[in-house]
Structure 1
Amino acid sequence: MRLTQFSEYALRLLVFAAAHPDRLVTIEEAAKAYDISRAHLMKVANLLVRQGFLKGVRGRAGGLALAREPDRITLGELIRATEPAFSVVECFGEAEGHSALRLDHWRGILTGAMDEFLAELDRHRLSDLLDDPGRLGLTPSAA
């Protein structure tokens, strides 16, 4: 199981915004804080705004803020949004009919594993990853 750097950057940007709930954050300051490319972070921010994780304010005094409380964002929904091609890869396509491997059964096993992986991520929230949610005035909701 491998997640892309895009998903990691998305998680970092959400955590950065959550750590500053009292103000808008900028892509520049998040890029500097994490030492990552501003251009990559722009693409990430664009998707997170479109998907409703962040709200963006344009203009000179603009920036980004969480669109929802951190305890209302599951890690599973974030990964589904940032990994749109997250599906079982056809790694044995050319072996179809030429192998003793039951591909239909193998695909079923992989699909079940992926479902379990995402279900586990659904049990965790952005607020679970914050250093000290109490310091930010955040309290985890009962899920």
Structure 2
Amino acid sequence: MRLTAFTDYGLRALMRIASDPSRGFSTAELADEFGLSRHHLAKIVQRLAQGGILSTRRGGGGGAMLAVPAGTLRLGAVVRLLEESGSGLVDCLTPGALACTVDGRCGLKSRLRRAEAAFMAELDRSTLADIALHPLEVEQ
């Protein structure tokens, strides 16, 4: 399974925010750190806030902060939220995709569905705390 860049950067932002959960991170700061446009990162932060993972405050001392403890946030839940577009591993697994010409005779679809479920189950075994950046990693 290939994650979108949106999800990749969402996970990176959460790893960074979890490295210092007592302070707010501005989208400008995170965008500069990751070499992304502020607009793109703002969309990611907005989705994470809408999903209840981040809280945001405007103004001095504001920024994005974890809304839940990193140790309770399962990576699978984050990926499901950020990959909300519903794109499947292949077109036939994507909701609303065109009808498959071999549907009913295809042995691949069920296997891909199980592989995708196994991928998400593996992510559900880890939390954000497991992958949070440590202070030494942040300084480098």
Same fold (TM over 0.5): yes
Matches for 1:22-33 after TM superposition, within 5 Å: 22-33=22-33
- The alignment of Structure 1 onto Structure 2 pairs a total of residues equal to 129
State the 1:86 CA deviation. Answer: 4.0
CA distance in 1 between partners of 2:118 and 2:51 (Å):
23
State the 1:93 CA deviation. Answer: 4.7
Q: Secondary structure at the match of 1:55?
A: strand
Alignment match of 1:102 (pick from 101, 105, 127): 105
For structure 1, the 5+ residue unaligned runs are 134-143
CA distance in 2 between partners of 1:125 and 1:5 (Å):
20
CA distance in 1 between partners of 2:100 and 2:126 (Å):
38
Q: Which moved more, 1:53-62 or 1:69-78?
A: 53-62
Tell me the residue number matched to 1:141: none
Q: Which moved more, 1:8-17 or 1:88-97?
A: 88-97
Tell me the residue number matched to 1:54: 54
Q: Which moved more, 1:60-69 or 1:87-96?
A: 87-96
Q: Secondary structure at the match of 2:112?
A: helix
Tell me the residue number matched to 1:67: 67
Tell me the residue number matched to 1:2: 2
CA distance in 1 between partners of 2:83 and 2:133 (Å):
25
1:51 maps to a residue whose letter is G
Tell me the residue number matched to 1:122: 124
Residue by residue, what CA displacement relative to the aligned partner does 1:86-130 show, whole Å, maximum 9, x if unpaired?
Answer: 435218955337xxx932x32111111111110000001111112
CA distance in 1 between partners of 2:56 and 2:134 (Å):
25
TM-score, normalised to structure 2, is: 0.82
Residue pair 2:16, 2:132 contacting (<8 A) in 1 also: no
Residue by residue, what CA displacement relative to the aligned partner does 1:50-90 show, whole Å, maximum 9, x if unpaired?
Answer: 00110011234321100111111111001100112143521
CA distance in 2 between partners of 1:131 and 1:16 (Å):
6
Tell me the residue number matched to 1:140: none
Q: Which has the larger radius of gyration?
A: 1
Residue pair 1:80, 1:86 contacting (<8 A) in 2 also: no
RMSD across aligned C-alpha pairs, in angstroms?
Answer: 2.2
1:52 maps to a residue whose letter is G
1:106 maps to a residue whose letter is L
TM-score, normalised to structure 1, is: 0.80
Tell me the residue number matched to 2:114: 112
1:53 maps to a residue whose letter is I
